[in-house]
């Protein structure tokens, strides 16, 4: 999975883990980094290796693996420090992913489909198409549901196709209880996090109405003051989109080692290209991210300049 895994990255990987384990395969899941506490409930998460903490053990596993499934990322660099050992691995790499422009030459086999809502949906298809739908246990279902639900913004983004609803209906028929998953993901934060969000919306958000754009920029001192942990900033970028007329929202967070960016849009504005062009990033048409080593002030200035270059596309808004 990609670094700092979200619900889809961890859900798809653990879903596949619970599926493949039933065939007697020896399956190990490795995350390039640690993960947010809101993911900590997922069945099997305690068996996941954190590459940064268990580097030697993980390297050994990668070197000796026959098959390496790469889920929810398009380029090996999305695994950060794992990139080199993945590149040199003797086993075959298999891609299952829905991001644009995959590094095709790096994979022996794979499915890349940008029209898919989530990697979890793709793992579900993989299981069903392989003729083993009866192996969708409650554990598999919980993991896959978490990813398809979070990557579709709780079934609201345009990627929420009929096949997504059919998948969820199937999981429900198999006995999935979905409410506790929503609670575990969304109703599990700290008081400090909620107050941090209040502070951000009050003090750290700029709205540029003539561009239908809003930018949130967060200095590192805020993260320290409110004791903000991995994952606590997840979803913050979406808040400005709830303002009438806003079609492009951005967030830049000073994480110390780098300034991490997230971009979201509604309708016709390609944030994947925007992230690639200005912030060394990428992602999807309506959701992308990037990073820079420049200062927060410089990143904010660069963002505003880039925004102004797109006035024509941004100033028109239609639902």
Binding site for ligand 5GP (CB under 6 A): 2, 99, 262, 281-284, 287-291
53, 5, 10, 51: which is closest to 32 by C-alpha?
51
The Cα–Cα gap between 100 and 114 comes to: 6
Residue nearest to Mn ion (CB): 8
Q: Count other Cβ atoms within 10 Å, centred on residue 103.
A: 16
Q: Looking at beta carbons only, is 6 or 222 nearer to ligand 5GP?
A: 6
151 binds, among Mn ion, ligand 5GP, none (CB under 5 to 8 A by kind): Mn ion
Q: Does 8 bind Mn ion (CB under 5 A)?
A: yes
Q: How far apart are CA 40 and CA 212, in angstroms?
A: 36
List 121, 151, 234, 270, residue binding Mn ion (CB under 5 A): 151
**H-assigned helices in the chain:** 7-21, 55-64, 83-88, 119-129, 138-151, 162-173, 179-186, 191-203, 220-225, 271-279, 296-309, 311-315
Q: Which stretch binds Mn ion (CB under 5 A): 15-23, 121-129, 133-141, 147-155?
A: 147-155
In the complex, the smallest distance separating the C-beta of residue 312 from Mn ion, rounded to whole angstroms, is 30
Partner touching 287 among Mn ion, ligand 5GP, none, CB below 5 to 8 Å by kind: ligand 5GP
d(CA 176, CA 198): 34
Contact (CB, 8 A) for 38 and 4: no
In order, the DSSP letters of 270-295 are -HHHHHHHHHS-EE-SSEEEEEESS-
- The site partner of 240 among ligand 5GP, Mn ion, none (C-beta below 5 to 8 Å per kind) is none
Which of the listed partners (Mn ion, ligand 5GP, none) does 8 bind, with a CB threshold of 5 to 8 Å by partner kind? Mn ion
281 binds, among Mn ion, ligand 5GP, none (CB under 5 to 8 A by kind): ligand 5GP
Specify the residue, 97 or 222, whose C-beta has the smaller distance to ligand 5GP: 97
CA-angle at 305, arms to 299 and 309, nearest 5°: 140
| CB closer to ligand 5GP out of 59 and 238 | 238
Which residue, 240 or 290, is less far from ligand 5GP as judged by CB? Answer: 290
Does the CA dihedral 167-171-176-177 come out positive or negative? positive
Nearer to ligand 5GP, 44 or 281 (CB): 281
Nearer to ligand 5GP, 61 or 217 (CB): 217
Residues binding Mn ion (CB under 5 A): 8, 72, 119, 151
């Amino acid at each position: 999975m990609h670094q700092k895994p979200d619900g889809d990255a961890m859900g798809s990987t653990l879903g596949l883990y619970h599926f493949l384990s039933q065939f007697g395969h020896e399956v190990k899941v490795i995350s390039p980094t640690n993960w947010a506490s809101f993911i900590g409930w997922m069945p099997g998460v305690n068996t996941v290796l954190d590459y940064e903490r268990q580097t030697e053990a993980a390297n050994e596993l990668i070197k000796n693996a026959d098959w390496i499934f790469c889920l929810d990322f398009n380029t090996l660099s999305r695994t950060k420090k794992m990139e080199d050992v993945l590149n040199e691995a003797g086993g075959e790499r298999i891609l299952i992913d829905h991001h644009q422009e995959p590094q095709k030459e790096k994979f022996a086999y794979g499915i890349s489909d940008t029209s898919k809502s989530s990697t979890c949906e793709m793992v579900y298809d993989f299981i069903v198409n392989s003729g083993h739908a009866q192996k969708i246990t409650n554990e598999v279902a919980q993991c896959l549901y978490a990813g398809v639900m979070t990557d579709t913004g709780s079934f609201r983004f345009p990627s929420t196709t009929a096949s997504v609803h059919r998948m969820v209906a199937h999981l429900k028929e198999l006995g999935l209880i979905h409410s506790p998953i929503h609670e575990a993901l969304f109703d599990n934060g700290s008081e400090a996090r909620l107050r941090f969000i209040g502070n951000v919306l009050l003090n750290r958000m700029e709205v540029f109405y003539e561009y239908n754009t809003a930018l949130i920029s967060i200095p590192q001192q805020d993260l320290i003051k409110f004791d903000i942990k991995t994952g606590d900033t997840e979803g913050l970028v979406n808040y400005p989109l709830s303002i009438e007329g806003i079609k492009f929202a951005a967030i830049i967070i000073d994480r110390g080692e780098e300034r991490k960016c997230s971009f979201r849009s509604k309708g016709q504005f390609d944030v994947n290209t925007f992230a690639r062009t200005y912030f060394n990033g990428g992602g999807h048409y309506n959701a992308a991210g990037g990073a820079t080593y420049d200062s927060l002030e410089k990143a904010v200035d660069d963002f505003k300049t880039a925004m102004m270059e797109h006035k024509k596309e941004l100033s028109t808004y239609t639902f």
